[in-house]
Amino acid sequence: MSFFQALEKSSAVELYTYITLLLVCVLLYIFSDYLKVCALAFRLPGPTAYPVIGNCLDIAKKDLISREMSEAYRNYGPLARVWIFVFPMFVVFDPNDLKVILSSKKHTNKSMFYKLLHNFLGRGLITSSGHKWSSHRKLIQPSFNIAILEKFIDTFADSASSLIDKLPKEETVLNVTEYVNNCVIDILNEAVLGAPVKSDKKEMEQSPFRQGKVVAPYRITHPWLLFNSIYKLTDAATAELNQKKQLDDFTRKMIRRRKETLKTLTPSDRRCLLDFMIEISNENPDFTEDDIIDEACTFMLAGQDSVGAAVAFTLFLLARHQDHQQKCYEEIQRHIGAGSSKQPTAESIRELRHLEACIKESLRLYPSVPLMARKIGEAVRVGKYNLPAGTEIMILPYATHRLEHIYPEPEKFDPERFGDGAPHQNPYAFIPFSAGPRNCIGYKFAYIEMKTVIARVLQNFHLSPAPGKEEVQPIFRMTLRARGGLWVKLTPRKTVA
């Protein structure tokens, strides 16, 4: 080899080395935030993670709720880490730390994992972020004014009366979950879509909103399906997209129907949320019919399991705690009256303060949404750690609601925690509907709905524990459920001694 050939080969090696180093530097720069987050994750405690899949399989654990979540703060402290595939997430437990995140408009973006719900819920208030979320929230918020919401009490009462009619007229033991869920769907059909509870129900019984199935947990436990390019090749993706099309087509049909109804609607007629959103669309062209569909699907689907679970858990807990059930019944007698003929009013529902405390304590123990997530918009400090912008945060109301220094004897059902004389509580210690600017827009609607339905049940039935089914086994399916259902013994009031 000549001198010049050697020199040429040496120059080529140096060039390749330079290019390789340059590429490495570029990649390190691109992934620097990810590497920083990973470095922090390795320093923090958390549940045992496995190579590549991380903690993905934990979501299928039978004791995920009852053991892992309830003992998480005790095991890991105020900040923990979990791995979803190769992506680290940080679990924040302490209310003071949660306040920093949830109270700021800089941290309102939802986690990337909410994209897994787009084919189910659409891109409504729950799953959207950025300008779309903020503009939709601003447009829809006036429709959830308390004066408007209280006009739905007749709808709630009609559906509750339909529930009472379906319940056995003799003492019986039953799973209240299915009955309550059907009641809540009836409410949503009228309150959101404008299909009256008392109308012919054949069409609504075949509604695709009764057949919704969330596949997000399945995708997380099969982490290769987190990549849409792979997921879209599966039968599950085809079925989910077909389900979404059915939901969209059905909602579009209901929108057309309400547009015709609005032409002849009188001030005394009942209105639904579709009416308000159609009016919003007429005044704001950027709020399209597709946006109405996304928001309507969000209200219909998110409102079913969350409220249904809360009502069922409250009835179950009142059956186990006769003293609080009696207080609620006496309160109902005072403000509404006893017997099926006494219908609630907005004023009487507002006065049911102990019942509301019981509902809140049920939501503390069994929050309908036990897990939420956010994406940090800018660097924040949590305890002694700095979380960089873009960090994925996980929030576990089920765990935060069991912090012993805030809720002594956290497993005890004690509605007095939320009674009129209860000490001032950190608002970020009780987050069944989240908190801050991204709290649930319909939480007031939900409280009025729950109080009305439970009041009507207690007017007509005495509840007691179902023998052999006094314990509850909570499980996670995006919302909180009870394994095997929630069983109570119902005794019609007229036969109570």
> Kind and range of the H or E element at 293?
helix 289-320
Interacting residues of 407 by C-beta distance below 8 A, sequence separation 6+ = 364, 401, 417, 429
The span from the CA of 38 to the CA of 83, in Å, is 10
Instruction: List Cβ neighbours of 435 (8 Å cut-off, separation of 6 or more).
Output: 98, 99, 102, 103, 427, 428
Q: Does 440 appear as a known binding residue?
A: yes
Closest CA to 353 of 374, 330, 370: 330
Angstrom distance (rounded) from CA 98 to CA 102:
6
The beta strand positions in 107-210, using DSSP E, are: 172-175
The alpha-helical segments, DSSP class H, found in 167-215 are 176-191, 202-205
- The angle at the Cα of 173, spanning 354 to 411, to the nearest 5 degrees, equals 45
Instruction: Provide the pairing of β-strand 479-482 with 380-382.
Output: unpaired
Q: Which of 113, 19, 139 is nearest to 372 (CA)?
A: 113
Q: Using CA atoms, how far apart are residues 239 and 187, in angstroms rounded to an integer?
A: 27
Residues 6+ apart with CB under 8 A from 306: 368, 369, 446, 479
Instruction: Note whether 43 and 37 are within 8 A (CB).
Output: no
User: Which residues line the annotated binding site?
Assistant: 440
User: Which residues line the annotated binding site for heme?
Assistant: 440
